Structure formats: structure tokens, C-alpha cells
Amino acid sequence: MKFFITYIFIGLIYCVNFSQDVSPIIFKNCTSCHRPNEIGAFLPFENYQQVYDNRYLISYAISYDNRHGEPLMPPWPPDREFSTLLDERFLTDLEIQIINDWIEIGAPQGNPENEYPMPDFPDGSSIGDPDIILEMENSFIIEGDYQDKYRCYVLPLNNDEPISMSAIEFRPGNREAVHHAIITYVPSGSADYLDDQDSSYGYECYGGFNLPNTTDLIGGYAPGVTSVVYPENIGRTLPSNTDIIVQIHYAPLLEDAEDLSSINIFKKDVPIEREINQYIWTDWTFVLPPDQETTVTNQLYIENDLSLVNILPHSHLIGKSWEIYATTEDDEIIPIIQIKNWDFDWQSFYYPEYLLKIPGGSTITAIAVYDNTSFNADNPNSPPEWVFPGDGTRDEMFFIPMEFLPYQDGDEQIYLGEIDDCILGDINSDEFINILDIVQMINLILDESTSPCSDINNDSILNILDIVILINMILE
């Protein structure tokens, strides 16, 4: 009802058109991937004509509730109602309604001069100037046979001294081909034997790195995901004499392609006072009988207070869903992440918006469901077979890397995202203050929520007073 009222309010003001209403939504949420040399280059959205020609496909993708309990696009596997995570990709109900109503009235262009300016998409680092750049020694040719490929590359750091790292950033050399990547580190030379066994540059790998020992995951990449810089005095130390290993998932291609990816490493400007810790939570004991779903539940006791930095639930093609939460000694539930429909092709490190305190004495519960039936279209076995834990394509995993810190007072106030300057009152971040911001603010108030730049009178409360001030700002 609230949405209907606020949207009718908009409809009385002006007719929806591409330039003024739709272009900000598309350019800010879709074009980063849907443009040349990116993962969505096959369907570019850089101008009115391209969006107009694909308007019905866009409507289907943003409205069809199937794959993740959310529309197909933008891709965001976690359930946003379960927990709030950093840099969530989604369109609001209002934005979806605007696009669908625009299509329904004939998809008019409007005045091209009012079109939202194309964002400045970075070609180099999205963080800044890296201190170290590691590039693949040779390019790799991805065969255009429309098959997924997983390739690992060993990149020597050649560091005689430890490195205090504030961020690590993977830069895909071919954004149309590179779907996602994960990064680890090992003692120098310890993975050379894997590289030597493969006649081509790098070595074939799937799920993990084919290493005999579990190693920390220190970074990754997926389309639309930005690297996170550790805040303040927090960081990670890379030991001396270290090699970096990156596993790259190449998406299916119809034509041969070439990739020469690289990794940027950023050093801390100040000494690291709080070292990032990682715990990799695994289960190698489960079995998955054919023709049935199996639920695997594990619990982890937390002895001392900690602050969760990120988490990556990981399974393979039999995986169906994940749910992870903490239960305190007082039976308070702390939701961490829920993925209702696991998709191996869309996985990432997930960060809470702020450091998430897990009190000592709590128990973290992780529930993974596996669908080893013929109804699972991703099942690599037909008919279904017994499946066991392992790194192989036809194996499965219960694998959860978690980065954390020992808790300190005030950790709950440490924001893990990038803090941008904003225009006060620009609730929807389109660099304009107009009726859309009033609608967005009404929805925030009704949802008892907030957003950057919404508390206009800076009283730490979002209410009717902020709306009044915002209306006056628009009328001035």
C-alpha cells in the first residue's frame, strides 16, 4: 500500500521516460557489466536504443522471481531479508516499477539532454595506485568450446621481507571470459610441481588449488564486486618468500579468447596493529546418496569475542542452499548469511556492512543442503551417483573461509565499505535532488530504515522533519 501511494504521487508529477527516469537505473546498476569487454558484453546497455531493443528481456530479468528468491538481475545470491551485507546488488521495488511502467507506455526516450551521465568505469585499479603489480607471465588461450574452465597460475612475489597488505585486487585481462577468481598464497616454490605437470601455462584446477594443505584465501573477484580496503589499523601480513596463486574460472565462450590477468597489492601506510585472522571451516566426512537431498549441519563454538570481517560459503554443483547464523549464550540469534538457491557461478566473499560482533560462548551453525537428484539441472552425474567430499568437479565441498579479528570495543562502528562524499538529500544517489528522493525517504521512514545522506537535519532520526526540509530544498 505504501509503495502504491508513493508511486501514484510520482505519476501525477510527470510521465516516465528513459532519459530522466530509466537511464539512472540502468547505467548505475547494469552497465558496469553490460558493456564492451565485460562479462555482459553480449548484451550492452550503453544508450537508449540498446535498452529499448532489449526492454522486454530486461523486464523479465528484473521481475522474474526464481533463481535466488530475488529477480535474476542484478545477480545477488544472498537473501537480503536474512542479513544486511556490504555492496548488495538489487533494484528497489520502485525502480522495477518505473522500468515496467516505462515499457508499458511505449518506452519513450524523453529529452536526450536529461539523460543520466555515463558513470566513469575504471580501466585500471578501482582502489588507487598499487604498490605491487603481479601479471601472468604468459597469456592463456581459452578455447571457444562453450565449456567452463578452471585454471590456476603461480605468481611469485619475490619478496625478501614481509608485506603489510591493506588490500588485494584482481584485475581480469579479459572481462568477457573471466567469470570469477580466488586468491591464496604459499611458500615460494611449493606449488611449482603442479605447474610443471601441465604442458600449458598454469595448471588445471577446480573447487580448490589442488594443494596438499589448506591455505588462507586472501582475495577474489566476481563481476560487479569491488575490492575492500581494510580500514584503519587493520591488515594482513604476507610472509617473506611468498608465491601468490590465483584460480580463474573462465566462462563458456563460443570463440577462442586470450587472457592476461593481473593482481594489484596495496601496502598499509601505517603499521598493522590488528592482524586479520582466517579460519577455514570444513567437513570432509559427509556422503551424498543418489536420488535424494541431504542436509549437512555443523556447529562451531566461539570461545572469545570476535568481529567477523567476511565469509565465503562454498560448495560445488550438488549444492542447493546455505544458512549460517550464530546463537549467543542468551539464545539471541545473529544472522550471518543465507543463500536459498546456491549457484556455483555466482560466489564471492561477503562482508557485513560493519564489523559483526560474535560474543564469546556463542555457537555458529552452518546448514548446507545438497540436491543429488535428477531434478538438479547442474548435477554432473546422470543418473545421479554417490558423491563424496573432494576438490574435483564431480566431488562436493562443505567449505567456509571466515576472516575475523579479536573483538575490541567499538568494532560495531567500523564500516567496511568505501565512504563516499554525498549530496545531502540525494537519497537515491543519482546526483539530483527531486521527487524521487522524497519517495525514497518516505519508504525509508515506513521501513524504519536509513541510508547515507538521508538524515538531513542530522538529528540521528529519520522522520517527517527530514521530508519537510527536503521538500523545501527542492522548491528553492
Asked if 438 contacts 445 with a C-beta cutoff of 8 angstroms, the reply is no
Q: Could you report the average pLDDT of every consecutive run of 10 residues in the chain (476 residues)?
A: 47 73 93 83 94 95 65 87 91 90 94 91 78 96 91 96 95 87 94 92 89 85 79 92 95 91 94 94 97 98 97 93 98 97 85 96 98 96 95 87 96 83 71 78 76 70 80 79
Question: Which own/partner pairs from 61-70 qualify as long-range (CB within 8 Å, at least 24 positions apart)?
Answer: 62/91, 62/96, 62/99, 63/96, 63/100, 67/341, 67/343, 68/339, 68/340, 68/341, 68/343, 69/340, 69/341
Contact criterion met (CB below 8 Å) for 55 and 327: no
| 278, 403 contact by CB (below 8 A) | yes
| 3-class SS of residue 208 | coil
Task: Burial-class residue 92 by CB neighbours within 10 Å (0-12, 13-18, 19+).
Answer: middle
CB 186 within 8 A of CB 242: yes
Q: What pLDDT score does 474 carry?
A: 78
DSSP per residue, 370-405:
EEESTT-TT-SSSS---B-BSSSTTSB--EEEEEEE
Look up residue 139 and give its amino acid: S
What does the alpha-carbon distance between residue 281 and residue 298 come to, in Å, rounded to a whole number? Answer: 9
Report the distance separating Cα 471 and Cα 476, nearest Å: 9
Residue 129 CA neighbour count, 13 Å, CB half = 1
| DSSP state for residue 187 in the 8-state scheme | E
Is 87 strand, coil or helix?
coil
pLDDT value of residue 12: 41
**Distances in whole angstroms, Cα of residue 206 to Cα of each of 90, 249, 283, 348, 393:** 29, 8, 18, 16, 6
Residue 245 phi/psi, 5-degree rounding, is: -120, 130
What's the pLDDT score for residue 411?
Answer: 95
- Integer Cα distance of 198 and 444 in angstroms: 55
Sheet bearing 333-339, strands edge to edge: 292-301, 363-372, 319-327, 333-339
What pLDDT does residue 1 have? 47
- With beta carbons less than 8 A apart as the criterion, state whether 319 and 265 touch: no
| Residue 48 burial class via C-beta count within 10 angstroms: exposed 0-12, middle 13-18, buried 19 and up | buried
Question: What φ, ψ does residue 27 adopt, rounded to 5°?
Answer: -65, -35
Residue 173 exposure: Cα atoms within 13 Å on the Cβ side: 18
DSSP string, 420-473: ----TT-TT-SS--SHHHHHHHHHHHHTT---TT--TT-SS--SHHHHHHHHHH
Q: How far is the C-alpha of 151 from the C-alpha of 173, rounded, in Å?
A: 14
d(CA 286, CA 263): 35
Q: What is the pLDDT of residue 70?
A: 63
User: How far, in Å, CA of 375 to CA of 140, rounded?
Assistant: 35
Q: What phi and psi, each to the nearest 5 degrees, are found at residue 354?
A: -125, 155
CB atoms within 10 A of CB 56: 10
| Euclidean distance between CA atoms 442 and 427, whole angstroms | 11
Distance, in Å, from the CA atom of 167 to the CA atom of 127, rounded to the nearest integer, reads: 9
User: What stretch of H or E contains 179?
Assistant: strand 178-187
Residue 458: its pLDDT value, please?
66
